[in-house]
Structure formats: C-alpha cells, structure tokens
A = this chain, B = another copy of it.
Amino acid sequence: MPGDDPPSSDRRYTAALLIIGNEILSGRTKDANLPFLAETLNGWGIELVEARVVPDIEAEIVAAVNALRARVDYLFTTGGIGPTHDDITAASVARAFDVPLERHGEAVRRLQAHYGDPALLTEARLRMANVPQGGTLIDNPVSAAPGFQIGNVFVMAGVPKIMQAMLLGLEGRLTGGRPLLSRTVGAALPESQLAEDLARLQDRFPDIAIGSYPGFAGGRPSLSIVLRGRDQAPLDRAAEAVAEAMRRLGAEPVFFG
C-alpha cells in the first residue's frame, strides 16, 4: 500500500446484488445483470462481494435486503418493480425498512408524461409510482417507471436494458475507492502443472489476488491466470513472475490487459 495517498483512498467500498425473481430461479431467464453491475462498479472503485437470488416472496426479500444492506456499502436489487401482482419489490423493501409504501408525486408525473392520455394511467401502472417513504427516484430513460434509492439500497428494474440505463445514471452519486486493476496471463498449460508456482507467488504477493481459471482451447488445456490489485507496480511484477513460471514449464505466456 502506498504511503503518500490520503487514507480515504485505501478504504475498500463494497456492494452486493440481490436478484429478485422466480424466473431466474426456475432457469427460464438467465441473469445478465450481475456481470454488468460488477464491471461498472469496479470502474467506480466499488467491489461486488456477494450476490443472492431469491423468489418473489416478501419474507425472503425482506430477510435478504436486511442481511445484505448491513454488510456492504451499497446494495443493488434487480427485478420485481413492474405493474403486475408478482412485482412486490417496492412493498418488500418498505417492509425491510419498516416504513410505509407511498405514491411518489414525481414518479406519478413521470408516468403521466410517458403515457400522455390520463385514461392510460391505470391503477396497475400507478403501482410503479409506489416508493417506500423517504426514497428518492432513480431515473429510467427507457420506459419512465423509475427505480428508487432508500438508505444504501438501490432498487432497479430486471430488464437488462433498463437496469443498465438506471445504473449508469447513478454515476457520480456513489463514493468509491481506487478501482481494482487486473492483468491476465494465459498459456497452453494444464492448471495443475502451475499450481505449486501459483501458491508460492500468492504468498510472495499477498496484496495481489491470483486466480487460476482452466479451460480448453482447440482440444488442449488452456489456462488463464487473473491477477487483481490496487497498485500497478506490484501487479505488473506479479504478472511477470507468473509469466516466468510458465516459461520455465516450457509454455509461451500471453498477456491480456
């Protein structure tokens, strides 16, 4: 850790993701929000440290919201904020915070502007303007119906296009630390051949997280070593040491990033 940075820059900022929806747990829909959230947050210096998927059941959502929001700087939820009976996220988050669910005036105005004709603003659509007391809106540039923030909890849509727009709109609203930097070194090696070198290098570079990800490329074993840390110089030294270990095993390392 460098000594000349203000202490605050070494503070680690953490986040969790709560994915709400039976359709994910049934396997019908594949979640696409976790990778986008993880990568976006990483650019803001915030580390995703846990994710959970729970069904559309209020007690499950309340328990998960309360467990996770206490553990991290920021909790993000996706899913369950549409107009139908199975969209119970807003009510569940209100319950988790023990505050009433209220119709939010500005949210109603946005829905009115979006639908135009007042006859189209049905009671079902107005449900999307329900926000826990004290919540502030998260913009939805795609389809108007907003998400909301209450405390350190950010409630977003599950549809990836809308979730992504909502998240990117939060840029600047969240405090982060220094982004985690990463380098990847690949080689055509079975993972187990490099295992002892990696264990030794992990001991030598305790501030660098060294991950080993085996795969297959063209029928041959391939290996990606991912190194992550907050300082470029030790990260580069560790990546070079991994490459050197690969060379000693007769493989040609390839650097990615």
A-side interface residues toward B, CB under 8 Å? 22-32, 34-39, 42, 48-56, 60, 82-87, 122-125, 127-128, 159, 180, 182, 191-196, 198-199, 202, 209-215, 226, 228
Q: In the complex, are the beta carbons of A84 and B195 less than 8 A apart? A: yes
Q: In the complex, are the beta carbons of B50 and A51 less than 8 A apart? A: no
Question: How far, in angstroms, from A159 to B50 measured CA to CA in the complex?
Answer: 20
Q: A85-B202, A192-B124, A196-B123 are in contact. Are A28 and B226 (CB under 8 A)?
A: yes
Q: A191-B83, A198-B85 are in contact. Are A34 and B24 (CB under 8 A)?
A: yes
How distant is A142 from chain B, measured CB to nearest CB, in Å?
10
Question: How far, in angstroms, from A128 to B29 measured CA to CA in the complex?
Answer: 33
A115 to B, closest residue via Cβ: B192
Q: In the complex, are the beta carbons of B49 and A211 less than 8 A apart? A: no
Residue of A86, A196, A215 with most chain B CB atoms under a 10 A cut-off: A86
Q: In the complex, are the beta carbons of A82 and B124 less than 8 A apart? A: no
Question: How far, in angstroms, from A165 to B196 measured CA to CA in the complex?
Answer: 28
Q: In the complex, are the beta carbons of A124 and B196 less than 8 A apart? A: yes
